[in-house]
């Protein structure tokens, strides 16, 4: 594929950078987690390709990739992944999954590695824009409403036999509960978190009730 004039100009600028200022040899991102030992000259956002050192900064390959990702490209990647999973559900789920019952080549993830992955997630602490959340909310209206006539059990009564089975299977409160006395991986819920969960549930159900009126 032939390069156009713009691509040739950009390559010339990078050649000038390496000749004048040497190869990139460090990462100037203060929040870098030092995942990569390869370094690049990265164009600073808002700047143009020009023969100026101030228009560029040195980044490791990992930080460079994250720096160049835009919100638009994130959405495109997310949509393409969803589309693939939707069309290939039978090929990638359950026993058909290539990793079903297997460990990865490094073995199972340790609690330390799980924590690192969680901390390094680029979406950690971020929130979707209000406009995008509004679109999701509008598209989901009516899809997850299982109250009243929308409930699959509406107008149907359980038999005495089924009630007995449900009762037996739900007899896991208190000491019979498998999680009794145990902590989850984040520790026990604080009183503050319990209140927040309670408030969120009440808010959800009140919203459903008001929408059905």
Q: Is 36 a domain residue?
A: yes
Which residues make beta-bridge pairs with 60?
A: 39
User: 49 lies in which domain range?
Assistant: 5-68
Return the percent helix, strand and coil in the chain, to nearest 5: 50, 5, 45
In a domain, 55, yes or no: yes
Does 53 fall in a domain? Answer: yes
Average pLDDT, integer, range 114-137: 79
Within a domain: residue 152?
A: no
Q: How many domains does the chain have?
A: 1
Q: Is residue 25 part of a domain?
A: yes
At 34, the pLDDT band (50, 70, 90 cuts) reads confident
With respect to residue 17, please indicate whether it lies within any of the assigned structural domains: yes
Tell me, yes or no, whether 99 lies in a domain. no
Averaged pLDDT, 109-118? 78
Residue 39 lies in a domain: yes
CB 44 within 8 Å of CB 55:
yes
Give pTM, 2 decimals. Answer: 0.36
pLDDT in tens, 44-71: 988 888 999 999 999 998 888 888 877 7
């Amino acid at each position: 594929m032939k390069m156009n004039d713009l691509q040739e100009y950009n390559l010339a600028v990078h050649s000038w950078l390496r000749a004048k200022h040497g190869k990139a040899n460090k990462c100037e991102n203060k929040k870098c987690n030092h995942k990569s030992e390869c370094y690049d000259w990265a164009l600073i956002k808002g700047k143009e390709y020009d023969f100026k050192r101030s228009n560029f900064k040195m980044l490791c390959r990992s930080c460079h990739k994250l720096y160049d990702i835009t919100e638009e490209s994130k959405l495109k990647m997310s949509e393409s992944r969803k589309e693939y999973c939707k069309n290939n559900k039978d090929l990638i789920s359950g026993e058909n999954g290539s990793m079903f019952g297997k460990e990865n080549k490094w073995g199972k993830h340790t609690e330390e590695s799980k924590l690192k992955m969680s901390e390094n997630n680029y979406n950690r602490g971020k929130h979707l824009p209000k406009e995008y959340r509004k679109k999701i909310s509008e598209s989901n209206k009516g899809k997850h409403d299982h109250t009243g006539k929308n409930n699959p059990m509406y107008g149907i009564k359980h038999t005495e036999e089924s009630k007995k089975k449900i009762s037996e299977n739900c007899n896991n409160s208190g000491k019979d509960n498998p999680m009794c006395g145990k902590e989850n991986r984040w520790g026990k819920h604080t009183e503050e978190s319990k209140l927040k969960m309670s408030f969120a549930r009440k808010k959800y159900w009140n919203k459903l009730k008001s929408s059905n009126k």
